[in-house]
């Protein structure tokens, strides 16, 4: 079975919601997935002064394990999620990345698939530069980067970011952005199965309709409309 690690930092919950959608997409493609958060670096008194930050921190810390280097070694592919910070990944995620040297030196991060997703205060708040900055890390690791590109209508419906799923911060993440994140996880897991894990028949799509060596199976988007999302969130 293909192994996917979804590693994220989220202050108020937008990236966490997107990470969950990436996880579901990868699982729907048949992968085993680990959702992991990076450590919070901000002082507790700063977090306590901002209600949304405090509430998200208190709610998710008991639910999501903190990422370890072993999670990256275990994985066939990675999806990294971060809010933008002045057009760059958050310091919390970067601090974890800076600890990966021992795996990198041994080549244990090479030849795996990787992708990234983000959110910002507004659509022009540095989303693309944040994703490109994460790609620089993947280049150094020797990963195969798997962007969503313009490979499915759900990408355009979410704003058309070919570098990775992205969202402009609001009260909630839009259904379109969650669908794009789900698709990105689904796409990542399928390529991990073909290029890394070696599951199934890598020469053809499972439905046998395409001669393309790395063609993917058809994608059926889930329902991320507000009512469906509320029902899914309420279920155990």
Residue 94, domain CATH: 3.40.50.360
Average of pLDDT values for 121-146?
94
Domain of 143?
3-234
pLDDT in tens, 9-54: 999 899 999 999 999 999 999 999 999 999 999 888 888 888 888 8
199 has a pLDDT exceeding 70 = no
Distance of CA 46 to the CA centre of its chain: 27
Q: What is the pLDDT of residue 79?
A: 98
Residue 81 contacts by C-beta under 8 Å, 6 or more apart in sequence? 6, 7, 8, 9, 10, 15, 18, 19, 22, 116, 117, 118
pLDDT in tens, 63-116: 999 999 999 999 999 999 999 999 999 999 999 999 999 999 999 999 999 999
How many whole angstroms separate alpha carbon 169 and alpha carbon 179? 16
Q: Which of 63, 65, 12, 78 is nearest to 42 (CA)?
A: 12
Number of domains the chain is built from? 1
Q: What is the pLDDT of residue 201?
A: 45
- Can you list the positions of beta strands (E) in 64-191? 77-85, 88-89, 113-120, 144-145, 166-168
Q: How confident is the model at residue 235 (pLDDT cuts 50, 70, 90)?
A: low
Report the predicted TM-score, pTM, of the whole model to 2 decimal places: 0.87
């Amino acid at each position: 079975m293909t192994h996917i690690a979804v590693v994220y930092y989220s202050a108020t919950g937008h990236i966490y919601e997107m990470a969950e959608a990436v996880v579901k997409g990868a699982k729907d493609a048949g992968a085993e997935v680990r959702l992991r958060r990076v450590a919070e670096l901000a002082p507790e008194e700063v977090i306590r002064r901002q209600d949304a930050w405090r509430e998200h921190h208190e709610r998710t810390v008991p639910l999501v394990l903190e990422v370890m280097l072993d999670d990256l070694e275990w994985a066939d592919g990675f999806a990294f999620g971060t809010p933008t910070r002045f057009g760059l990944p958050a310091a919390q995620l970067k601090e974890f990345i800076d600890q990966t040297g021992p795996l990198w030196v041994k080549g244990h991060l090479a030849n795996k698939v990787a992708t990234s997703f983000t959110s910002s205060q507004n659509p022009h708040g540095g989303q693309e530069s944040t994703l490109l900055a994460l790609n620089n890390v993947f280049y150094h690791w020797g990963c195969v980067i798997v962007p969503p590109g313009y490979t499915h209508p759900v990408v355009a419906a979410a704003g058309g970011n070919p570098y990775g799923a992205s969202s402009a911060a609001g009260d909630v993440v839009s259904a379109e952005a969650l669908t794009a994140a789900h698709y990105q996880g689904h796409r990542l897991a399928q390529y991990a199965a073909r290029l890394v894990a070696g599951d199934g028949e890598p020469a053809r799509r499972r439905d046998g309709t395409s001669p393309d060596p790395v063609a993917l199976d058809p994608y059926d988007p889930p329902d991320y409309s507000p009512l469906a999302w509320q029902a899914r969130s309420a279920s155990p």
